[in-house]
Protein backbone atom coordinates (compact mmCIF):
# COMPACT_ATOMS: atom_id res chain seq x y z
CA UNK A 1 0.00 0.00 0.00
CA UNK A 2 1.31 3.44 -0.96
CA UNK A 3 2.15 5.65 2.06
CA UNK A 4 -0.13 8.62 2.55
CA UNK A 5 1.25 12.01 1.59
CA UNK A 6 1.09 14.77 4.18
CA UNK A 7 -0.98 17.85 3.38
CA UNK A 8 2.25 19.87 3.31
CA UNK A 9 3.84 17.50 0.75
CA UNK A 10 0.70 17.53 -1.42
CA UNK A 11 0.74 21.33 -1.32
CA UNK A 12 4.40 21.36 -2.39
CA UNK A 13 3.65 19.09 -5.35
CA UNK A 14 0.89 21.34 -6.61
CA UNK A 15 2.89 24.54 -6.17
CA UNK A 16 6.04 23.19 -7.85
CA UNK A 17 6.57 24.36 -11.42
CA UNK A 18 9.21 24.52 -14.14
CA UNK A 19 11.44 27.36 -12.94
CA UNK A 20 14.27 26.95 -15.49
CA UNK A 21 12.38 27.78 -18.68
CA UNK A 22 13.66 31.00 -20.25
CA UNK A 23 16.39 31.52 -17.65
CA UNK A 24 20.10 32.25 -18.25
CA UNK A 25 22.26 29.24 -19.10
CA UNK A 26 25.97 28.98 -19.80
CA UNK A 27 28.50 26.17 -20.23
CA UNK A 28 32.25 25.63 -19.99
CA UNK A 29 32.59 26.06 -23.76
CA UNK A 30 30.40 26.05 -26.88
CA UNK A 31 30.74 23.43 -29.58
CA UNK A 32 29.77 25.08 -32.87
CA UNK A 33 26.29 26.63 -32.40
CA UNK A 34 24.96 24.19 -29.77
CA UNK A 35 24.59 26.78 -27.02
CA UNK A 36 23.75 26.20 -23.35
CA UNK A 37 20.29 27.78 -23.66
CA UNK A 38 19.21 25.01 -26.05
CA UNK A 39 19.07 22.56 -23.15
CA UNK A 40 16.20 24.62 -21.70
CA UNK A 41 14.16 24.54 -24.92
CA UNK A 42 12.38 21.28 -25.75
CA UNK A 43 12.43 22.07 -29.46
CA UNK A 44 16.21 21.42 -29.34
CA UNK A 45 15.94 18.27 -27.19
CA UNK A 46 17.05 15.91 -29.96
CA UNK A 47 20.49 17.55 -30.30
CA UNK A 48 20.71 19.56 -27.07
CA UNK A 49 23.52 21.76 -25.81
CA UNK A 50 27.09 20.67 -26.54
CA UNK A 51 30.42 21.68 -24.99
CA UNK A 52 33.86 21.34 -26.51
CA UNK A 53 35.87 18.35 -25.34
CA UNK A 54 37.34 18.89 -21.89
CA UNK A 55 38.45 16.92 -18.83
CA UNK A 56 35.67 18.54 -16.79
CA UNK A 57 32.89 19.98 -18.92
CA UNK A 58 29.99 21.72 -17.20
CA UNK A 59 26.62 23.36 -17.89
CA UNK A 60 24.82 25.80 -15.56
CA UNK A 61 21.56 27.73 -15.30
CA UNK A 62 21.02 30.89 -13.25
CA UNK A 63 17.42 30.69 -12.02
CA UNK A 64 17.38 34.48 -11.53
CA UNK A 65 15.88 34.17 -8.09
CA UNK A 66 15.88 31.90 -5.04
CA UNK A 67 13.95 28.64 -4.96
CA UNK A 68 13.26 25.46 -3.06
CA UNK A 69 14.00 22.68 -5.56
CA UNK A 70 11.72 19.63 -5.66
CA UNK A 71 13.38 17.76 -8.53
CA UNK A 72 15.62 18.13 -11.57
CA UNK A 73 15.20 16.06 -14.73
CA UNK A 74 17.94 15.59 -17.33
CA UNK A 75 16.94 14.14 -20.71
CA UNK A 76 19.55 12.64 -23.02
CA UNK A 77 19.76 13.76 -26.64
CA UNK A 78 18.57 11.43 -29.42
CA UNK A 79 20.57 12.46 -32.51
CA UNK A 80 23.09 9.77 -33.52
CA UNK A 81 25.01 8.68 -30.40
CA UNK A 82 25.02 12.07 -28.67
CA UNK A 83 23.13 10.60 -25.72
CA UNK A 84 26.34 8.82 -24.69
CA UNK A 85 27.93 12.17 -23.83
CA UNK A 86 25.72 12.59 -20.77
CA UNK A 87 27.13 9.47 -19.08
CA UNK A 88 28.30 9.87 -15.47
CA UNK A 89 27.34 13.56 -15.35
CA UNK A 90 26.30 14.75 -11.88
CA UNK A 91 23.93 17.49 -10.72
CA UNK A 92 24.50 20.08 -7.98
CA UNK A 93 22.60 23.11 -6.73
CA UNK A 94 24.19 26.25 -5.30
CA UNK A 95 23.14 29.48 -3.61
CA UNK A 96 25.77 31.69 -5.28
CA UNK A 97 27.85 31.94 -8.46
CA UNK A 98 30.78 29.60 -7.90
CA UNK A 99 32.92 31.61 -10.35
CA UNK A 100 32.55 34.77 -8.22
CA UNK A 101 32.01 33.70 -4.62
CA UNK A 102 34.22 31.88 -2.13
CA UNK A 103 31.49 30.94 0.37
CA UNK A 104 29.12 29.00 -1.91
CA UNK A 105 26.76 26.46 -0.39
CA UNK A 106 26.49 23.34 -2.57
CA UNK A 107 24.20 20.31 -2.43
CA UNK A 108 24.82 17.20 -4.54
CA UNK A 109 21.59 15.91 -6.10
CA UNK A 110 22.62 12.79 -8.03
CA UNK A 111 24.43 11.45 -11.06
CA UNK A 112 23.56 9.96 -14.42
CA UNK A 113 24.39 6.28 -14.85
CA UNK A 114 27.26 5.01 -17.02
CA UNK A 115 24.72 3.44 -19.39
CA UNK A 116 22.46 5.96 -21.14
CA UNK A 117 19.97 5.38 -23.93
CA UNK A 118 18.62 7.87 -26.46
CA UNK A 119 16.08 10.20 -24.89
CA UNK A 120 16.40 8.60 -21.44
CA UNK A 121 15.29 10.74 -18.49
CA UNK A 122 17.03 10.94 -15.13
CA UNK A 123 15.16 12.66 -12.29
CA UNK A 124 16.92 13.72 -9.12
CA UNK A 125 15.53 15.10 -5.88
CA UNK A 126 17.53 17.77 -4.07
CA UNK A 127 17.46 18.16 -0.31
CA UNK A 128 19.20 21.53 -0.06
CA UNK A 129 18.40 23.34 3.18
CA UNK A 130 19.34 26.73 1.67
CA UNK A 131 17.66 28.86 -1.03
CA UNK A 132 18.92 27.73 -4.46
CA UNK A 133 19.77 30.06 -7.35
CA UNK A 134 22.13 27.99 -9.58
CA UNK A 135 21.89 24.44 -10.98
CA UNK A 136 25.06 22.93 -12.43
CA UNK A 137 25.65 19.72 -14.41
CA UNK A 138 29.27 18.49 -14.56
CA UNK A 139 30.78 15.61 -16.51
CA UNK A 140 34.15 14.67 -15.00
CA UNK A 141 36.58 12.52 -16.95
CA UNK A 142 40.25 11.60 -17.14
CA UNK A 143 40.15 12.24 -20.90
CA UNK A 144 38.71 15.08 -22.97
CA UNK A 145 34.96 14.55 -23.49
CA UNK A 146 31.88 16.50 -24.57
CA UNK A 147 28.95 17.19 -22.25
CA UNK A 148 25.73 16.94 -24.24
CA UNK A 149 22.33 17.50 -22.60
CA UNK A 150 19.09 17.11 -24.51
CA UNK A 151 16.90 18.94 -22.03
CA UNK A 152 16.91 20.18 -18.42
CA UNK A 153 13.75 20.70 -16.36
CA UNK A 154 14.02 22.19 -12.87
CA UNK A 155 10.92 22.00 -10.69
CA UNK A 156 10.54 24.16 -7.60
CA UNK A 157 8.88 27.10 -5.92
CA UNK A 158 9.96 30.51 -4.69
CA UNK A 159 11.96 30.76 -1.46
CA UNK A 160 13.23 33.63 0.67
CA UNK A 161 16.63 35.02 -0.24
CA UNK A 162 19.59 34.60 2.14
CA UNK A 163 19.39 36.95 5.11
CA UNK A 164 22.88 38.34 4.46
CA UNK A 165 22.46 39.43 0.86
CA UNK A 166 24.93 42.17 -0.09
CA UNK A 167 24.04 44.61 -2.87
CA UNK A 168 26.87 46.20 -4.86
CA UNK A 169 26.03 49.74 -6.13
CA UNK A 170 26.65 50.94 -9.70
CA UNK A 171 26.13 54.69 -10.00
CA UNK A 172 24.42 56.24 -13.05
CA UNK A 173 22.82 52.89 -13.92
CA UNK A 174 19.09 52.20 -14.18
CA UNK A 175 17.20 48.90 -14.47
CA UNK A 176 15.72 48.84 -17.97
CA UNK A 177 13.46 45.80 -17.57
CA UNK A 178 11.79 45.99 -14.13
CA UNK A 179 9.15 43.49 -13.11
CA UNK A 180 7.96 45.95 -10.44
CA UNK A 181 7.98 49.75 -10.22
CA UNK A 182 7.17 51.00 -6.74
CA UNK A 183 7.95 53.63 -4.11
CA UNK A 184 10.66 53.79 -1.43
CA UNK A 185 11.89 56.47 0.96
CA UNK A 186 15.56 55.44 0.68
CA UNK A 187 17.79 53.02 -1.24
CA UNK A 188 17.75 50.79 1.84
CA UNK A 189 13.94 50.68 1.79
CA UNK A 190 14.05 49.73 -1.89
CA UNK A 191 16.50 46.96 -0.99
CA UNK A 192 14.12 45.63 1.67
CA UNK A 193 11.35 45.47 -0.94
CA UNK A 194 13.70 43.59 -3.30
CA UNK A 195 14.56 41.17 -0.51
CA UNK A 196 10.87 40.31 -0.09
CA UNK A 197 10.67 38.98 -3.68
CA UNK A 198 12.47 35.69 -4.26
CA UNK A 199 13.02 36.57 -7.93
CA UNK A 200 14.56 40.01 -7.35
CA UNK A 201 18.29 39.95 -8.11
CA UNK A 202 18.88 43.68 -8.60
CA UNK A 203 17.13 47.02 -8.02
CA UNK A 204 17.49 50.68 -8.94
CA UNK A 205 16.77 53.66 -6.70
CA UNK A 206 16.58 57.39 -7.43
CA UNK A 207 16.30 60.22 -4.88
CA UNK A 208 15.18 62.71 -7.56
CA UNK A 209 12.49 60.76 -9.43
CA UNK A 210 8.81 61.06 -8.27
CA UNK A 211 8.43 58.86 -5.21
CA UNK A 212 5.70 56.64 -6.67
CA UNK A 213 8.16 55.20 -9.21
CA UNK A 214 11.63 55.63 -7.72
CA UNK A 215 12.27 51.96 -6.91
CA UNK A 216 12.67 49.43 -9.73
CA UNK A 217 13.06 45.67 -9.19
CA UNK A 218 14.37 43.20 -11.77
CA UNK A 219 15.20 39.52 -12.16
CA UNK A 220 17.15 40.03 -15.40
CA UNK A 221 20.90 39.85 -15.82
CA UNK A 222 22.66 42.86 -17.40
CA UNK A 223 19.44 44.82 -17.76
CA UNK A 224 20.69 48.25 -16.66
CA UNK A 225 21.16 51.32 -18.87
CA UNK A 226 23.04 54.59 -18.33
CA UNK A 227 21.10 57.24 -16.38
CA UNK A 228 22.68 59.82 -14.06
CA UNK A 229 19.59 60.00 -11.83
CA UNK A 230 19.77 56.37 -10.73
CA UNK A 231 21.94 53.87 -8.89
CA UNK A 232 21.55 50.15 -9.54
CA UNK A 233 22.29 47.60 -6.80
CA UNK A 234 23.09 43.97 -7.66
CA UNK A 235 23.47 41.02 -5.32
CA UNK A 236 27.15 40.28 -4.85
CA UNK A 237 29.35 38.27 -2.48
CA UNK A 238 30.80 39.25 0.88
- pLDDT above 90: residue 234: no
How many domains, the chain? 2
Binning pLDDT at 50, 70 and 90, where does residue 42 land? very high
pLDDT value of position 176: 87
pLDDT value of position 165: 65
pLDDT tens digits along 137-191: 999 999 999 999 999 999 999 998 776 667 889 999 999 889 999 999 899 899 8
**d(Cα 206, Cα 9) in Å, to the nearest integer?**
43
CATH number of the domain where residue 225 is located: 3.50.4.10
> Of the candidates 111, 128, 158, which is a domain's last residue?
158
Q: Assess whether 180 and 122 both reside in one domain.
A: no
> How far is CA 56 from its chain centroid?
20
pLDDT value of position 101: 79
Sign of the dihedral through C-alpha 149, 151, 156, 158: positive
Range(s) of the domain holding residue 145: 9-158
pLDDT tens digits along 94-143: 998 888 777 889 999 999 999 999 999 999 998 899 999 999 999 999 99
Percent of the chain with pLDDT over 70: 90
> Of the candidates 158, 178, 200, which is a domain's last residue?
158
Residue 20 resides in a domain: yes
- What is the model's pTM? 0.81
Residue 182 resides in a domain: yes
Which has more pLDDT, 8 or 53?
53
- Nearest alpha-carbon partner for 68 in 200, 201, 158, 154: 158
Average pLDDT, the chain: 88
- pLDDT above 60: residue 58: yes
Residue count (the chain): 238
The C-alpha torsion from 42 through 47 and 52 to 57, rounded to 10°, is 50
Whether the CB-CB separation of 21 and 39 falls below 8 Å is answered with no
Residue 18 resides in a domain: yes
pLDDT value of position 14: 46
Q: Assess whether 91 and 182 both reside in one domain.
A: no
CATH number of the domain where residue 37 is located: 2.60.120.260
Binning pLDDT at 50, 70 and 90, where does residue 9 land? very low
Binning pLDDT at 50, 70 and 90, where does residue 13 land? very low
| Cβ neighbourhood burial of 78 (10 Å; 0-12, 13-18, 19+) | middle
pLDDT value of position 1: 40
Mean pLDDT value across residues 185-204: 88
Q: Assess whether 71 and 103 both reside in one domain.
A: yes
Amino acid sequence: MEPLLSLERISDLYKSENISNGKDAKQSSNYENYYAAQALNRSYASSGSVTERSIQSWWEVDLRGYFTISNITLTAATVRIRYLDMRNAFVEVMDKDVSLCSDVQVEWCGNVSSTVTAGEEFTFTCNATFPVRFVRVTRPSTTNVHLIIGHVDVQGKGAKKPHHSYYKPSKSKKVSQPFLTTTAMTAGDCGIICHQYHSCTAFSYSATIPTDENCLLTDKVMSSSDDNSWTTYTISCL
